[in-house]
Amino acid sequence: MYLEIVSPETTLFKGEVDSVSVPGVNGDFEMLNNHAPIVSILKEGFVKISGNISIDKENASKFEQKDKGFWLAINSGTIEMNANKIIVLAD
């Protein structure tokens, strides 16, 4: 599935991933390939992405590599998943 993480300043990540876990307002949840369409508000926490991922050098300092993936700290945001494309608007 395709993931795009966008902040007010720049696009932090875009590419194919195996899974994405996010801090929803009602608890963390994970999306895999062919997940049902969803729109949700995110709270402070970590967006966790896994797969064969490479992070651009200019954004690498914003991500932490651990547990076979990358973690991005966010304060809040929104997420939309539809047709195996995920867009995270992160603050």
pLDDT tens by residue, 35-72: 999 999 999 999 999 999 999 999 999 999 988 899 99
- pLDDT at 87 (0 to 100): 98
2-6/85-90 β-pairing: parallel
Which tokens go with 89?
A: 């608007």
Residues 87, 80: contact at Cβ < 8 Å? Answer: yes
What is the CATH number that goes with domain 2-90?
2.60.15.10
